[in-house]
Structure 1
Amino acid sequence: MNKQITHAETFTSLHEKGNPVILYNIWDAGSATAVRDAGAKALATGSAPVAMAQGFSDGQKIPLDMALDNAGRIVDAVDIPVTMDFEGAYAEKPLGILANVQRALETGVVGFNFEDQIVGTKDLYDIETQSARVAAMREGCDAAGIPAFINARTDIFLEAHPDTHDEVMLEDAMARAQAYADAGASGFFAPGLRDERLIARLCDSTELPVNIIALPGTPDTPKLAELGVARISYGPVPYREMLVWLQDKARSAFQS
C-alpha cells in the first residue's frame, strides 16, 4: 500500500475520544525530527510558527510555494504522519481549494487544519459557504486518492475573550460541527475554548473527534481526556517558548 495512504489511515486511527493524540506543533524539518525523537506518534505544523520562522506574519502571508516546500521537507525528514495547518487553503472558492489541496497532498502530508475564518479579517464564513469549502477539500483529497484527515476549525471561541464564551457560541459551534461533518470533515477544532463544561458538551454533541489547543488556562491533558477530547495541539506555544529560551541564552552570551 502507498505509504502516504498508510500514514493517513494511521493518523486517523490516533484520534480517540478520551485518549487524545498529542500534537506538539513544529515548523520545519529540524523541529520535526526533534519532536519525533521525543516520542511523537504524528506531527503537525502550525501556520504561525511556520510563517514566523521564515520572516512572515501569520494569515497566509508566507507564499504558498514556500509553505508547500517546507511541508515537503518535513515529510521527507520523518517517517511518521504529518498534518499541515493549511489556514484557508489559500483560496476562497471551492475550485481553488480543490486545486491547492491536491498540490499540498503531493508533498506527502496526510491531513489539514482548515479554518472558517475569512483570512485577513475577524469574520467567519457562514455555515453554508464554509461547508461548501470543506466539501471541496474532501473532493480534492478523494481525487488524489488520499484519505486525508480534514480538521475543520472554527474560530468562534478564539476571536472572543474566554470570559464571554457561552451557550450561544456553543450552539453555533455544534451546528458548524454537524455541517462540516456532513461536508466531509474528519475532525472538529475549537481553538480558544477552555471551559470544561462547554468542552464536554461539544465532545458529547458530535461524532467528530474534537481538537482543543493547550493555551494558558486550558485544562490539562488528563482532564481534557476525561472530557472526551480526541486531539490536543499546541499551536504557536512551542515556537514562542523556544524564542524566549534562545533570546535568554543569547543575552547571557552577549553579557559574559
Structure 2
Amino acid sequence: MIFHELHRGERPLLLPNAWDFASGAALAAAGFAAVGTTSLGVAAAAGKPDAAGGTRAETLALARRLVRLPVPVSVDVEAGFSDRPDEVAALVAELASFGVAGVNIEDGRPGGGLAEVRAHAGVVEAVKRAAPGMFVNARTDTYWLGGDRPSREETLRRVRAYADAGADGVFVPGIADDGDIAAVVAAVDVPLNVLHLPGRTGFERLAELGVGRVSCGSLLFREALHAAVTSAFGVTGEAWDGGVPSYGDVVRLIEPPPP
C-alpha cells in the first residue's frame, strides 16, 4: 500500500501527470514518488475530446505501459467510460490486474452537469468491491464546473458521501480559498487532493491546510505544447511567445469551430 502511505506524509504528495510513456518515464527518472495521468493529455494526444468518455482504449493502453515504471501509477478514468457501476468496476479491476495503484473517478458529466450523489457513491462502492486494494480518488467537479459561485455546502455533501462509500481520497479540482479547503479537510477522514493552480494558493500553504495530495493536471502537457512551438520558432532565431495554452485552447485545437 505504498501509494496509500504517500498521502499521509508530513507534506502533500505532489503528483505530476503524464500523457504518454516517455513523459511518465521522465517524471519517474526525475525522482517523483508517483506518477498520474492527465485525461486531457491522453485525449488530445489521440485527437479526441476530453471528458467525453471516448478514450477508454487509449487509457488502458497507456496504463499497461506506465506500470513498467518503478513508481506507483494513478490513472484518470474520467467518469469510468460507462454509466453502469458494474462496468466501471470491471474497468478498475482490469487496471488493478495490470498493477495500477490508483484511479480518479469524477462526478462531472459531458455538458457541464454533475452525476447524482447517490449514483456516484454507488460507483465508488462497486469499484471498491471489485478492486479493494486500489486507491480510489473520488473527484467532485462542484468547483471545476461551478462557475463564479461554487457551492461549499454541495461540495461537503458530496465528499462526505463518497468517503462514506469507501473512497480512499477525495479530489476537488478548482478549489482555492483557504476557508473552503480547510472545510473539506475537516469534513472527511480521507486525504484531500487539490489541483495546482498557478498564481493561487502555494504548495507550502496547502501543506499547512492539511491537503494530502496536489496534482498538476494538464499543466505539464500544456507547458510541453508551448515549449514545442517555442523551440520550433527558435530554429530560425524567431522569437515567439503565444503563451501556455489554457484547457480551452487545447480543446479548440482538437475540436476547431465549424467554418
Give TM-score scaled by structure 1 length: 0.88
Give the equivalent residue in structure 2 for 1:201. 183
1:129 to 88, 102, 119: 119
Give the AA of the match of 1:100.
Answer: L
Q: How far has the Cα of 1:235 moved from its partner?
A: 0.3
Encode CA deviations 1:187-246: one digit per residue, 9 max, x unaligned.
Answer: 000000111111111111211100010023430100000111000001000100111011
Bigger helix fraction: 1
The count of aligned residue pairs is: 238
Give the equivalent residue in structure 1 for 2:60. 68
Q: Is this contact kept in 1: 2:172–2:192, CA < 8 A?
A: yes
Distance 2:97 2:187 in 1: 34
Encode CA deviations 1:19-60: one digit per residue, 9 max, x unaligned.
Answer: 200001111110111111221001101111111122222124
Structure with greater contact order relative to length (CA < 8 Å, sep ≥ 6): 1
Could you list the structure 1 runs, at least 4 aligned residues long, displaced by more than 3 angstroms after superposition.
Answer: 60-63
Distance 1:49 1:26 in 2: 8
Secondary structure of the residue that 1:44 maps to in structure 2? strand
- Does 2:215 align with 1:215? no
Distance 2:55 2:113 in 1: 22
Secondary structure of the residue that 2:173 maps to in structure 1? coil
Distance 2:53 2:180 in 1: 33
Encode CA deviations 1:61-107: one digit per residue, 9 max, x unaligned.
Answer: 5432222011111112x111000001111111112112221222233
Secondary structure of the residue that 1:11 maps to in structure 2? helix
Give the equivalent residue in structure 2 for 1:156. 142
2:90 to 72, 96, 99: 99
- Does 2:76 align with 1:90? no
Q: Is this contact kept in 2: 1:51–1:57, CA < 8 A?
A: yes
Give the equivalent residue in structure 2 for 1:51. 43
Q: Percent identity, aligned pairs only?
A: 34
Give the equivalent residue in structure 2 for 1:31. 23
5+ unaligned residues in a row in structure 1: which ranges? 1-8
Q: Is this contact kept in 2: 1:69–1:107, CA < 8 A?
A: no
Secondary structure of the residue that 2:98 maps to in structure 1? coil
